[in-house]
A = this chain, B = another copy of it.
Amino acid sequence: MNAEVKEELLTKTYLTPSPIYYIRHHHPVPLLSKEQIDDFQLEIDLTELNGGKQRTISLSIDDLNAMPKEDVIMTMQCSGNRRSGFNIIEKTSGTKWGQGAISTAKWTGVRLSNVLKNAGMCDVSMLQEKDGIEHVQFHAFDGMMVSIPIEKATNPYGDVIVAWSMNDEDLPRDHGFPLRLVVPGYAAVRSLKWLKKITISKEEAEGPWQRGLNYKILPPNVHDANEVNLEEMPGINELSVSSGITTVEPLVEGEPSEIGDIVIMKVKGWSFAGGGRNIVRVDVTGDAAKHDWHTAKLKEGNDQRYGRGWAWTLWEAEVPARVQDDGCVHLFSKGVDMAFNTQPENVVDQWNVRGLMNNTWYHKSKIMIKEIN
C-alpha cells in the first residue's frame, strides 16, 4: 500500500504525525513472529575487511540501547514525489504522486558510525586504501537491499542512525519495526526499513533499488531505458532542492474578483533540499509572466544547523496575484538552498522515463471566479 499525505495536512504541523506519515512499500510489510522479535539480532558483516576472512557480529536491541542515543529530525521524500507533474508532458512509469510523498519525523537511535566502530571497524581512510571498502550495504526482512557510500556512513557530520523510535514511540510496523536506517539528506529509499543486516563492501548493493532503473534519472531525451548504460549512471542519493505550496487563501475575504484584479493571497508551503543544505530563501509569485517575485518568510525549520538541514523549512508569504483569463490565480514557488541551487522552471527540460525528482517550480492555482469554471 502506498499513501501520500493530504495537501492540507502537509504543513499543518512541523513533524508529521505517525498515523498520516506517507507510506511507500516495495513489498508486503513483513510480519515478524513473536520469536523473531524477541530474538532479534542485527547482524554486522565485516568479512570484506582484512582479506576476506569471515567475520560477523550480532547486536541485540539491548546492545544498541546501551550505546549513546541520538535524535535526528529528518524529512523523508520519495524520489518520485511530484511525479504526476511530469505526466502532463509524457507518461512516466511509477506511482502518480502529488506533492504528498514527503513527511518529517523525529527519529531516535544510535549512530551508524558507532555501530560500525563497536563491531571493530577501524580508521576509515585505512578501509578505503587498504581494503578498498567504498560502500555500506543494508539488507531488510522484506528483501530490499540498498547501500550508501562509506563517506556518508562514517562522516561525523553525516548523522546516519540506526533507529528504533519515531516521534518518541516504537517504530510503527509500516515504518520499519523493529529497526530501520535513517540517512538524512538522502532519498527516502536509502533509509531502509525492517533492517536485518549491515555489510561493508567494495561494491554497491545488488538489486533494482540500487543498481537498476528504479532510482536512476535518465536524460530528458531518452524515452526507452534500453538506450542507455545504467551502470554508467549513479543512483539517487542526495535530493535536489524543491518546494510545494500547500494553501492559498485571499488575505481578506470580500467581493468576488474580476479578471485582471490583483488579490493579495496568503500562501503557505514547504521547501527542502538534500545533503543537509539549508533553505535560505523561497521566492513566490502570483504573476509569473511579470517575474513578480516575493520573498517568503521562513518559519519552522529555519534554525537548523548550517549544512545539517536534514528537515524541511516551512514558509508563508503574502503575494499579490492577478486573476487570469481562466478565472484563477496562479501561484508558483521556488526554493533556494545554501549552495544557491534553485528549482528549474519547465517540466519538459527535466522529464525522465521513471518520473524521478520533479523539482520544477511548484504551481498551485485557486479559482477566484466560479462562473468561468
What's the least CB distance linking A140 to chain B, in Å?
23
Contact A339 B149, beta carbon cutoff 8 Å? no
Contact B283 A240, beta carbon cutoff 8 Å? no
Query: Does A342 count as interface, using CB distance less than 8 angstroms?
Result: yes
Q: A338's contact among B234, B278, B291, B344, by CB below 8 Å, is which?
A: B234
Contact B348 A345, beta carbon cutoff 8 Å? no
**What is the interface size of chain A, counting residues whose CB is below 8 A from a CB of the partner?**
54
- Kindly list chain B residues whose C-beta atoms are within 8 Å of the C-beta of A149: 306-307
Contact B156 A291, beta carbon cutoff 8 Å? no
Binds B, one of A45-53, A55-63, A165-173, A215-223: A215-223
Q: Known interface pairs A275-B339, A338-B237. Does A124 touch B219 (Cβ–Cβ under 8 Å)?
A: no
- Kindly list chain B residues whose C-beta atoms are within 8 Å of the C-beta of A157: 151, 155
Q: Please give me the residue from chain B that is nearest to A154 by CB atom.
A: B156
- Kindly list chain B residues whose C-beta atoms are within 8 Å of the C-beta of A339: 237-240, 273-275, 341
What's the least CB distance linking A138 to chain B, in Å?
18
Contact B350 A342, beta carbon cutoff 8 Å? yes
Binds B, one of A9-17, A190-198, A292-300, A321-329: A292-300
Number of copies: 2
Contact B156 A294, beta carbon cutoff 8 Å? no
Query: Does A93 count as interface, using CB distance less than 8 angstroms?
Result: no
Contact with B along A231-245 (1 / 0, CB 8 A): 001101111110000
- Kindly list chain B residues whose C-beta atoms are within 8 Å of the C-beta of A152: 307
Q: A220's contact among B124, B233, B283, B348, by CB below 8 Å, is which?
A: B283
What's the least CB distance linking A25 to chain B, in Å?
24
Q: A307's contact among B151, B233, B350, B359, by CB below 8 Å, is which?
A: B151
Query: Does A249 count as interface, using CB distance less than 8 angstroms?
Result: no
What's the least CB distance linking A97 to chain B, in Å?
16
Q: What are 13 A-B residue pairs whose CB atoms fall within 8 Å in the complex? A: A151-B157, A217-B336, A219-B283, A221-B283, A222-B295, A233-B281, A234-B306, A234-B338, A238-B339, A273-B339, A340-B356, A341-B359, A344-B344
